[in-house]
Amino acid sequence: MAVDLSGKWVWVWQWPRADGGDPGTVAARLRAAGCRGVLVKAYDGPGWSHQGQPWREICRALRAHGLLVGGWGYHYGQDVEGEARRAVETASYGEADLLVLDVEAEFEGRPDAAASLVMRLRQELGQSYPLYFSTFALPRYHRPFPFAPFAEGCQGAAPQLYWNAFRLPMARSLAAMYEDYGLLGLGPARLFPVAGLYEEGTVPYPRPEDVSAFVHLALERGSRGVSFWSYQHMDEAMWEAVARVAVPSGEDRQTMPPVEWMAALEERVSRLEERVAALEGRPTFPTAPRTYTVRPGDTLWAIGQRLGVDWRRLYEANRDTIGPDPDVIRPGQVLVVP
């Protein structure tokens, strides 16, 4: 089955600055945050990106730790043949699970370069290889950019929704993104927005609560995955915000035990019913509490990740059952899911 961008991913720009380029440490941090994969820069234009070691070695090392590994490169559109060659080599020789094309201002007013790049990649990689493009989040401000060739030739888009840099509220920025891309024929299922978890100059880190809300809202709108820029920029507050919200991938939905998948589905349906009732002016009635029975090997964090609930809330709701130590839970305990 082809890999897609569903779930949570983190971008890596400069590998040596990602915990010193230690694959074990990087993988442990990503998995602790509930990430499905990582996007590592492989090339810049027609040349390889200098990451301190061959990209394929980085890819294989991270995959050995259970992560999916996507490759990305910055495209300038000046040497389309050379840039396409690097991308193809990243997918074939580099063994990338998927590719993301970083295409920005250099393509504005140049639809032929965009079409040529996508055509060459599809000729070499085939139509089914997972190919995505990442660019401006708000097309209304970038009308000269040739969105159409990329939308037609790629499985989806990863819009760079850096609301902290836009100086716009997160929810307003996200809504505008879905509206603009919808007009281009890209619905939510093909959109995998990128949050900018960095501070630079006068651009501050986003608020952690906005990061969590961003993930929730993207899922509610119909996106199947999100990603975060970037590993080397994120501080502990940003990592905690990423870990706080679970994003099931397509694989998770297939492998999650039926009782857990149904419980998660029932929770979403309940929330939707409450919203509909509120819109219609009807009174809402309390529902029976949802429960989860602890199994061998479970931890509060893992249970929270499965059910989309922060482990701290889970503990507070079940302190009398669990006792003073949240790290000690026992099989057979019945927990109330807040």
> What is the mean predicted confidence (pLDDT) over 6-26?
98
pLDDT at 261: 42
Copy the structure tokens of residue 281: 């002016």
210 and 261 part of one domain: no
Is 82 within the bounds of a domain? yes
Least confident of 93-107, 235-249, 295-309: 295-309
What is the band of 305 on the pLDDT scale with cuts at 50, 70, 90?
Answer: low
pLDDT at 254: 45
What is the band of 266 on the pLDDT scale with cuts at 50, 70, 90?
Answer: low
Is 1 within the bounds of a domain? no
User: Are 205 and 198 contacting, i.e. CB atoms less than 8 angstroms apart?
Assistant: yes
Number of domains present in the structure of the chain = 2
Angle ∠(10,48,81) on CA atoms, nearest 5: 110
270 and 305 part of one domain: yes
> What is the DSSP-derived secondary structure letter of residue 287?
P
Range of the domain at 264: 256-337
| Whether the predicted pLDDT of 155 surpasses 70 | yes
| Whether the predicted pLDDT of 18 surpasses 70 | yes
CATH number at residue 19: 3.20.20.80
> What is the mean predicted confidence (pLDDT) over 175-192?
98
> What is the mean predicted confidence (pLDDT) over 80-105?
98
Integer Rg of the chain from CA: 21
Count Cβ atoms within 10 A of the Cβ of residue 267 and give its class: 0-12 exposed, 13-18 middle, 19 or more buried. Answer: middle
- Quote the mean pLDDT of the chain: 90
Which of 228, 248, 268 terminates a domain? The answer is 248
Distance CA 266, CA 241 (A): 25
pLDDT in tens, 64-85: 999 999 999 999 999 999 999 9
What is the band of 231 on the pLDDT scale with cuts at 50, 70, 90?
Answer: very high
69 SS3 class: strand
Which of 231, 248, 265 terminates a domain? The answer is 248
| Whether the predicted pLDDT of 325 surpasses 90 | no
| Whether the predicted pLDDT of 178 surpasses 80 | yes
Which of 200, 220, 248 terminates a domain? The answer is 248
pLDDT at 304: 76
188 and 59 part of one domain: yes
| Whether the predicted pLDDT of 227 surpasses 50 | yes
CATH number at residue 317: 3.10.350.10
Distance CA 315, CA 325 (A): 9
| Whether the predicted pLDDT of 172 surpasses 50 | yes
61 and 154 part of one domain: yes
pLDDT at 259: 43
pLDDT at 201: 95
